[in-house]
Structure 1
Amino acid sequence: AEETGYEAAEFERLTTVEPTNGMANAVHHHFLATGCEPTADRDLDHNESITVETVPYDDLLAAVVDDGLRDGRAVTAVLWYELTRR
């Protein structure tokens, strides 16, 4: 709830990826949060700027295709979910 103001009823591990093999030792763990409800005020650090937006799932998929969602970490998680779980 610290950064989004939401709390999830459940978390499910989706996958772990290494997005920059050969360049960095980054490891990203992707989770699916379900049963999310707004529960608290956000508590951002002074240098954080985070926008929370809820959208229908099909709109999220469309954003992946039409460049509306450009964060590679988010695109990876959405497409992994679409290909393996939906």
Structure 2
Amino acid sequence: MSERISREELVRIYNVEITFFDSLEEAGLLTIETENEIKYLPYDDLSTFEKYINWHYDLEVNLAGLEVISHLLNKIEKLQVRNLH
């Protein structure tokens, strides 16, 4: 079992709405593990979650914008990896 943190604890610690977390999951922006009907975020994905929080709450980027930014950054990363080989 990987190290992880529950959705409820995340929204309490980061002071965000649970609907924000659920929206990220529904959009496929977070990979969630579910056990006994409790949703968990792997610790490895915490930095990604924090980025989304900053973009959404500090920069006021909506969910559609988060999806676009994420998609473009993933595309750039793949191109960089491909160009290194």
Report the TM range for the smaller structure's normalisation: under 0.3
TM-score by length of 1: 0.25
| Bigger RCO of structures 1 and 2 (CA < 8 A, at least 6 apart) | 1
TM-score by length of 2: 0.25
Structure with the bigger percentage of helix:
2
Structure with the bigger percentage of strand:
1
